[in-house]
Amino acid sequence: MSLLSTLRARAAVVPTRIVDAGFALLCYVLMAISVGAHTETQPLSLLLIAVATLPLIWRRRWPLPVTAVCGVGTVSLTLLDRLGDLPYSQLVATYTLAAFSGPLARLLGVAGTVIGIGVSFIGHQEKLVQLPIVALLFIGAYALGTATRARHDRIALLEERNRRHAEEREAAAARERERIARDMHDILAHSISLIAVQAEAGPVLVRADPARAERVFDTIGETARETLTQLRRTLGILRGEAGSRAPQPDLDGLAALAERAREAGLAVAVEERGDKRPLPPELGLAAYRVVQESLTNVVRHARAKRVWIRLDWAPDQLGVEVRDDGRGPGGAKPGGGHGIMGMHERVGAVGGALRTGPGPGGAGFQVTATLPASLDKDQVRG
């Protein structure tokens, strides 16, 4: 606990103790006046009144012991016929017991109060007419304490609910930040890698193949414009702009993705098996990003010449496979970025699984994602 929190807690305790001391003093004065109005005030009476009232200073901390001690003092005054009008302190103790004690303490307190009332009326047959009034007073004090406890429980429940909601909002915000970071990484890493490769090849192609060089520079421009569009959309989410989430890339953009990779010098083959069908936006985006990030890694690290992209459509799932003929897992630079980790997070967020490793026979590198065919909103984790 911080120093500021400790000071605040102590500041909250001090007024409570002052209030309880005030209650104890008020009950002492009232009972002393009441005793003095009926009998001659004696030191023993003042001592028993102190026993019946002063423990109220600690009533919130130890409600059951305080109720018991106050009860001993009150019953003693009653047996000596020096109680006066009302058992003020015992009513306050009963209220406190109902408001701040647990079930067992309340049960013991009620039993002790009933016994104390019974002992107080033994040998005072002339006062039995007051028993219903006394019982109603104690029942009323206990009911008020029960209502206070219920209110405290409701407040605690609302505070706990608010705390959980705040944690859920923080977790949702963290997941959104992670999702945006993945999107930014995928967009920038893929586009800048392609632009860099094509820009490096541009001067050579200008001399050797001007027509192809023109296409390469056109592709650079298109890639840059598309990157800016996607960045504006992603940053729009941060600013809370309406419609920033749509439209997101999906498998319909796979052909353009493959074509840009071809312009970067890769021989890309795309194959689909099974019956293609529409996917929920989250799944379509996850599949697109897996292919995009895989192609980015091929361009940046693999030194590959060929890439094979395959989609396997099954009734209950979609398989996405990207394989190259490059240097394989050992060819990647140490600490070479967060691309594979981001793919694992993205696929896992929609309930899928991702495997990465050497291609068939240990040649090249292969990324295989298995995605569900449908998606529950509760499944999406960010």
- Residue 195 Ramachandran class (φ > 0 left, ψ -120 to 50 alpha, else beta): alpha
Model pTM above 0.75: no
- Cα 69 from Cα 53, distance rounded (Å): 9
Strand 353-358 relative to strand 365-372, pairing: antiparallel
Question: In the prediction, which pLDDT does 123 show?
Answer: 65
Question: In the prediction, which pLDDT does 1 show?
Answer: 44
Strand order in the sheet with 317-324: 267-273, 306-313, 317-324, 365-372, 353-358
Overall average pLDDT of the 75-99 stretch: 84
Q: Judge contact between 304 and 266, C-beta under 8 A.
A: yes
Which of the 8 DSSP states describes residue 1? -
92 contact partners, CB below 8 Å, separation of at least 6 = 23, 27, 56, 59, 141
Question: In the prediction, which pLDDT does 336 show?
Answer: 45
The number of residues in the chain equals 382
- Cα 342 from Cα 323, distance rounded (Å): 18
Question: In the prediction, which pLDDT does 376 show?
Answer: 63
- Weakest mean pLDDT among 151-155, 219-223, 278-282: 219-223
- Per-chain mean pLDDT for the chain: 80
Q: From 184, 181, 178, 186, select the one nearest 292 (Cα to Cα).
A: 186
Q: From 338, 32, 38, select the one nearest 188 (Cα to Cα).
A: 338
| pLDDT band, very low/low/confident/very high, at 142 (cuts 50, 70, 90) | very high
- Residue 314 Ramachandran class (φ > 0 left, ψ -120 to 50 alpha, else beta): beta
- Cα 291 from Cα 300, distance rounded (Å): 14
Is residue 291 predicted with pLDDT exceeding 60? yes
7 contact partners, CB below 8 Å, separation of at least 6 = none
Q: Distances from the Cα of 286 to the Cαs of 185, 279, 375, in angstroms?
A: 14, 10, 12
Question: In the prediction, which pLDDT does 6 show?
Answer: 57
Overall average pLDDT of the 81-102 stretch: 85
DSSP string covering 220-247, please?
HHHHHHHHHHHHHHHHHHHHT-TTTT-S
Question: In the prediction, which pLDDT does 8 show?
Answer: 53
- Cα 256 from Cα 232, distance rounded (Å): 20
Overall average pLDDT of the 131-155 stretch: 89
Instruction: Tell me how crowded residue 372 is: count the other CB atoms within 10 A of its CB.
Output: 17
Question: In the prediction, which pLDDT does 264 show?
Answer: 76
Question: In the prediction, which pLDDT does 241 show?
Answer: 57
Q: Judge contact between 328 and 359, C-beta under 8 A.
A: yes
Is residue 317 predicted with pLDDT exceeding 70? yes
Overall average pLDDT of the 336-340 stretch: 62
Is residue 197 predicted with pLDDT exceeding 60? yes
Q: Using omega within 30 degrees of 0 as the cis cutoff, is the peptide bond preceding 247 cis?
A: yes
Q: What percent of the chain has pLDDT over 90?
A: 18
Q: Distances from the Cα of 159 to the Cαs of 128, 153, 172, 231, in angstroms?
A: 47, 10, 20, 39
Bridge partners of 317?
372
Overall average pLDDT of the 195-213 stretch: 71
| pLDDT band, very low/low/confident/very high, at 370 (cuts 50, 70, 90) | very high
Query: In a 3-state reduction of DSSP, which class is residue 360?
Result: helix
- Weakest mean pLDDT among 200-204, 260-264, 304-308: 200-204
pLDDT digits (tens, 9 = 90+) for 232-287: 777 766 666 554 555 678 888 888 888 888 877 789 999 999 888 888 888 888 89
Q: Regarding predicted confidence, which is higher, 22 or 3?
A: 22
Overall average pLDDT of the 139-158 stretch: 91
Question: In the prediction, which pLDDT does 344 show?
Answer: 87
Residue where the block lists tokens 């104890």: 24
Beta strands in the chain (DSSP E): 267-273, 306-313, 317-324, 353-358, 365-372
pLDDT digits (tens, 9 = 90+) for 6-39: 545 555 555 777 888 888 888 888 888 877 666 6
Is residue 332 predicted with pLDDT exceeding 80? no
Question: In the prediction, which pLDDT does 333 show?
Answer: 47
Question: In the prediction, which pLDDT does 272 show?
Answer: 92
Q: Regarding predicted confidence, which is higher, 45 or 208?
A: 45
